[in-house]
Chains A and B, each alone.
Chain A
Amino acid sequence: ENREAMLNSRSNRLTEALEEANALFDGVCRAREAALDAQFLVLASNIGKEKASELHSEMSAFDSTAFAEDLLTFMGINRIEEADDSEDDQSGFLPRDAWKKMGEEAVKYFKRAPVFHYMLGSFKSEPTVPKQRIERQKKASRGKAEQAMPAQLKKMEESHQEATEKEVERILGILQTHFENDPDTPISFFDFVIDPNSFARTVENMFHVSFLIRDGLARIKLDEDELPVIEPTKPSGGGEEESRAGARNQVIIRLDQREWK
C-alpha cells in the first residue's frame, strides 16, 4: 500500500520492510505463509526495480511539465490572460491545426513506410478528353457523377454472360440515378460511355448501352447541337409510342482509337 512512500529515494522503508519480512520468515511453518512471503518478495523486488530506474532518470531530471508547456507553444497555443479562467487549470486555446502541426514535425523523425494504396478505382481528377465535348454542350457539366462511373464499371466478375447482364443493369441504374438528380437534362451520349482512360472500356460501355436501347429502357436522341444524348425511358406513360420508336432503328456508331483520343 505504501508504494509511493517506498519509492521515495530518500526513504529506507523498503529496506525496513525487507528486514521485517526476513525476521518473520523464521516463524513460518505453514505453506500458505511461505507463499505470502514469496509474494512479498516479488512485490519488494518490483519496487526495488522501480526505485533503481527512478534513480537513473533523476540523474538528468526531465521536467515533463516544462516539456508539456513547450509542446503547447509549439502547437501554437494562444495564451490569453483571462481572470475567470483561474479555476480551470488549463488556460489558453489550442488551434484546430495544433496536432497537425505537431504531426508534420513528427513524421520527419520516423522511418515510416508510406501506406500503399491502389491507384485504380478513385477517379478524382477531371478527364481531359471529354472536356472538348463538354464545352460544346450548352448544358451544365455533370462532371463528378460521371467520373464515378468508370470506377464502378471496372469490376468484371464470373462468367461473361452474367457479367454482361450485370453491367447492363448497373448502367441502367446509373442512368436512372442521374435522372433522379437532374430530370430535365439528358446526358451526352459520349460523356456517358467514354472512359477517358481506356478505349476498350469505352467500346464495352457502348456495347452495354446498346442493350438498354434495344430493350427500350433508354433512348438516344440528337440534341440541338446534333450530338447524341441518352436518357432513360419512363416506365409509365407514352409506352406505346416508345416501344414503336425503339423497334426498328439501326444505328452504327463508329469509333476508332484516334477519334476516341
Chain B
Amino acid sequence: QVSELVQFLLLKDQKKIPIKRADMLKTVIREYRDAYSEIVNKAGKTLQEVFGLQLVEIDSKRHTYILINNEPRAESKYLCRDKEKEKMGLLLIILSFIFMKGNSVKDSALWEFLHLLRVYPGKEHQVFGDVRKLVTEEFVRQKYLEITPIPLTDPPEFKYQWGPRAEKEISKKDVLNAVAKIQGKDPTFWASQYSEAQATR
C-alpha cells in the first residue's frame, strides 16, 4: 500500500498540480481508511529517504499536498528539460517583482513590467507561447501564484501574490539574493525587503 501511494504521488506530481487527499484515499488506500495516516506517514518517509522529497500539506482545510525537493541544492545541473527551466525563469522574475513591490501587485503593474522584458499578454511569445495563459492559469493551478480580483473595480482588476507552492519551494531570502545578484548589489541595499526576508523563515 505504501509503495502504491508513493508511486501515485510521484505520478500526480508530474503536472505540479496539488494532490487532494480525497484522490489519495480513492485511488490507493480504499479499504485501509483507518490506517490512512499511518500509510501517508510511511509514504512520506519513503519519499524522503529514497527520493529526497518532502510531502507538504499546503491547505489544511481542503487537505491538498505537494512534493518539494528536500535535498540541499547540488552544485551540479538540475535535471530538467529546457521548457521547464524557461518557465521557472519567468516564474522567478514574477515572484521577485511581487516580493520587491511589497508582496502584492496589480495585474497592470506586472504586465507593464513584463512588457519591458518583451513579454506581452496579448502576443504569442516565441518561448512561452500564450503567456497570459501560462501565468494566469498554469502557474495559478500549480499554486505558484495566487490571483484575486480587486472588488468593485471596473473594468475588473486583479492582484497577484505568491501562492502556497511558491512559499514552500522558495524563500524571500532566496528571491532577494537572486535580485541582488542580477543587479550587482548587496541584498541589504533594499533595507525593508531585507529585514522582511530575514524575519521570514
B113 touches A68 (CB 8 A): yes
B170 touches A109 (CB 8 A): yes
With A and B bound together, what is the CA distance between A39 and B93 in angstroms? Answer: 36
With A and B bound together, what is the CA distance between A77 and B50 in angstroms? Answer: 42
B117 touches A72 (CB 8 A): yes
Judge if B73 is at the interface, Cβ distance under 8 Å: yes
Judge if A17 is at the interface, Cβ distance under 8 Å: no
Contact among B70, B73, B128, B190 with A108 in the assembled complex (CB-CB below 8 Å)? B73
Contact bitstring B174-197, A, C-beta under 8 A = 1, else 0: 110111001110000111111000
Return chain B residues, CB-CB under 8 Å to A207: none
Return chain B residues, CB-CB under 8 Å to A66: 183
Q: List residues of B (8-66) whose CB comes within 8 Å of A's CBs.
A: 10-11, 13-14, 16, 51, 53, 66
Known pairs A46-B152, A106-B88, A109-B92; A94 contacts B118 (CB<8 A): yes
B86 touches A57 (CB 8 A): no
With A and B bound together, what is the CA distance between A65 and B151 in angstroms? Answer: 29
Query: Chain B: interface residue count, which band?
Result: 35 or more
Return chain A residues, CB-CB under 8 Å to B140: none
Query: Chain A: interface residue count, which band?
Result: 35 or more
With A and B bound together, what is the CA distance between A101 and B69 in angstroms? Answer: 22
Known pairs A66-B183, A106-B88; A60 contacts B191 (CB<8 A): yes
Known pairs A103-B82, A103-B86, A113-B69; A60 contacts B182 (CB<8 A): no
Contact among B88, B113, B168, B192 with A64 in the assembled complex (CB-CB below 8 Å)? B113
Return chain B residues, CB-CB under 8 Å to A113: 13, 51, 53, 66-69
Dominant secondary structure at the B interface: helix
Q: List residues of B (67-124) whose CB comes within 8 Å of A's CBs.
A: 67-70, 73, 77-80, 82, 84-93, 96-97, 100-104, 113, 116-118
* Additional A-B contacts beyond A46-B150, A46-B151, A104-B77 (14; CB < 8 A): A60-B190, A60-B194, A68-B117, A103-B88, A104-B85, A106-B92, A107-B85, A109-B174, A110-B170, A113-B53, A113-B67, A114-B69, A115-B13, A115-B84
Identify the 8 closest CB pairs spanning chains A and B, nearest first: A103-B85, A102-B89, A103-B89, A68-B116, A57-B102, A106-B92, A116-B10, A113-B67
Chain A to chain B contacts (Cβ below 8 Å), 27 pairs: A53-B103, A56-B102, A67-B97, A68-B117, A70-B183, A71-B93, A71-B182, A94-B118, A99-B128, A100-B82, A103-B89, A104-B77, A106-B89, A106-B92, A106-B178, A107-B78, A109-B92, A110-B92, A111-B69, A111-B170, A112-B88, A113-B13, A113-B68, A113-B69, A114-B79, A116-B10, A117-B14
Q: Which residues of A contact B (CB under 8 A)?
A: 39, 42-43, 46, 53-54, 56-57, 59-60, 62, 64-72, 74, 90, 94, 99-117
